[in-house]
């Protein structure tokens, strides 16, 4: 299948409160202003199965271990990738995805300390054979992240302690180091306008738009 030159799969990653949801609209605006089409999506979720599983995944009254979390995530990811992301790319769209597979390595691998090799096996088994072309890792110390989200009702994952998020951040850092061609670290402790401007600039350069 040949893809249009503008087709690009972009993910945003980082611990909670890093600013992914705040940066996404700026990226979408820049793409739309250049006359390109955007597909905005997220994980957990994105497809009908993933969105249904998201309700279970985030439910604070449930107690799930790492394996149970991974099985839910990868069922949803398979549906999301094959029924939404790949068709959008085939149609020449820029896919902007709030979290993708790096989050599983960071949260279930780092946070829950599940073996990374086991996650890799599950990923292959689930047919996740397409990674993002570009990933923005919004990097923020967990102490600052907690301050930002203090006022809201925590979901199931947000109840974890600081060490959980420190381990997740370490995995994001290791993955960024291992894939410098794909993952761009942005200092998310900077003012939001600066973070947005940096991400938009990098995306525009990748798409050769201004
Ligand atoms: N999860 C997983 O475990 N494994 C997986 O494979 C996947 C996900 C895919 C999804 O929750 C949960 O699923 C997530 C990981 C897990 N759990 N945790 N933790 P979600 O989708 O509901 O939430 P989230 O992805 O963590 O999003 P978030 O908490 O809303 O964070 P955000 O989108 O990065 O932040 P934000 O909403 O843009 O900003 C938070 C606040 O900070 C807000 O008031 C902003 O105005 C403020 N903000 C943002 N940027 C700045 C700057 N630069 N300066 C000052 N203030 C700022």
Helix or strand holding residue 56 (H, E): helix 48-58
> In this structure, is residue 1 part of a structural domain?
no
- Axis-axis angle for helices 66-80, 116-125 (nearest 10): 40
What pLDDT, on a 0 to 100 scale, did the predictor assign at position 160? 86
Q: How far apart are CA 89 and CA 170, in angstroms?
A: 31
**Residues 15 and 157: beta-carbon distance below 8 Å:** no
pLDDT 10s digit of each residue in the chain, 210 long?
A: 555 668 999 999 999 999 999 999 999 999 999 999 999 999 999 999 999 999 999 999 999 999 999 999 999 999 999 999 999 999 999 999 999 999 999 999 999 999 999 999 999 999 999 999 999 999 999 999 999 988 777 777 777 889 999 999 999 999 999 999 999 999 999 999 999 999 999 999 999 997
**Residues 41 and 129: beta-carbon distance below 8 Å:** no
Pocket-forming residues, ligand 1, beta carbon under 6 Å = 14, 16-22, 43-44, 73, 99, 103-104, 107-108, 148-149, 155, 157-158, 188, 191-192, 195
Report the residue among 22, 50, 59, 128 best suited for mutation to probe ligand 1: largest number of ligand atoms under 8 A from its CB: 22
Report the residue among 60, 114, 146, 157 best suited for mutation to probe ligand 1: largest number of ligand atoms under 8 A from its CB: 157
| Residues 7-46 as b or e (16 or more Cβ within 10 Å = b) | bbbbbbbbbbbbbbebbbebbbebbeeeebebbbbbbbbb
Separation of CA 3 and ligand 1 centre (Å): 31
The residues facing 185 across adjacent strands are 137
CATH code (residue 81): 3.40.50.300
What pLDDT, on a 0 to 100 scale, did the predictor assign at position 151? 73
> In this structure, is residue 76 part of a structural domain?
yes
What pLDDT, on a 0 to 100 scale, did the predictor assign at position 187? 98
Per-residue DSSP letter, 139: E
In the chain, the number of structural domains is: 1
Considering the entire predicted model, what is its pTM? Answer: 0.96
**Residues 149 and 158: beta-carbon distance below 8 Å:** yes
Q: Which domain holds residue 132?
A: 8-207
What pLDDT, on a 0 to 100 scale, did the predictor assign at position 155? 78
Taking the CA of residue 12 as reference, the ligand 1 atom at the shortest distance is 34
Q: Cα–chain-centroid distance for residue 131?
A: 11
Q: How far apart are CA 91 and CA 6, in angstroms?
A: 10
> In this structure, is residue 3 part of a structural domain?
no
> In this structure, is residue 2 part of a structural domain?
no
Q: How far apart are CA 13 and CA 89, in angstroms?
A: 20
* Residues near 193 by beta carbon (within 8 Å), at least 6 away in sequence: none
What pLDDT, on a 0 to 100 scale, did the predictor assign at position 3? 59
> In this structure, is residue 98 part of a structural domain?
yes
């Amino acid at each position: 299948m040949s893809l249009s030159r503008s087709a690009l799969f972009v993910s945003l990653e980082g611990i909670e409160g890093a600013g992914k949801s705040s940066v996404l609209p700026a990226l979408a605006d820049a793409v739309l202003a250049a006359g390109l089409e955007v597909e905005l999506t997220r994980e957990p979720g994105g497809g009908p199965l993933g969105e249904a599983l998201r309700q279970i995944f985030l439910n604070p009254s449930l107690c799930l271990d790492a394996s149970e979390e991974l099985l839910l995530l990868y069922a949803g990811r398979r549906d999301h990738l094959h029924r939404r992301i790949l068709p959008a790319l085939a149609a020449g769209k820029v896919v902007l995805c709030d979290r993708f597979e790096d989050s599983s390595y960071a949260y279930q691998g780092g946070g829950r300390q599940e073996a990374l090799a086991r996650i890799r096996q599950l990923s292959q088994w689930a047919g996740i054979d397409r990674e993002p072309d570009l990933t923005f890792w919004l990097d923020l110390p967990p102490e600052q992240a907690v301050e930002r989200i203090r006022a809201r009702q925590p979901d199931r994952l947000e109840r974890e302690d600081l060490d959980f998020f420190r381990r997740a951040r370490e995995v994001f850092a290791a993955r960024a180091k291992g894939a410098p061609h794909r993952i761009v670290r942005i200092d998310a402790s900077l003012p939001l306008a600066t973070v947005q401007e940096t991400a938009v600039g990098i995306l525009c350069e990748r798409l050769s738009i201004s």
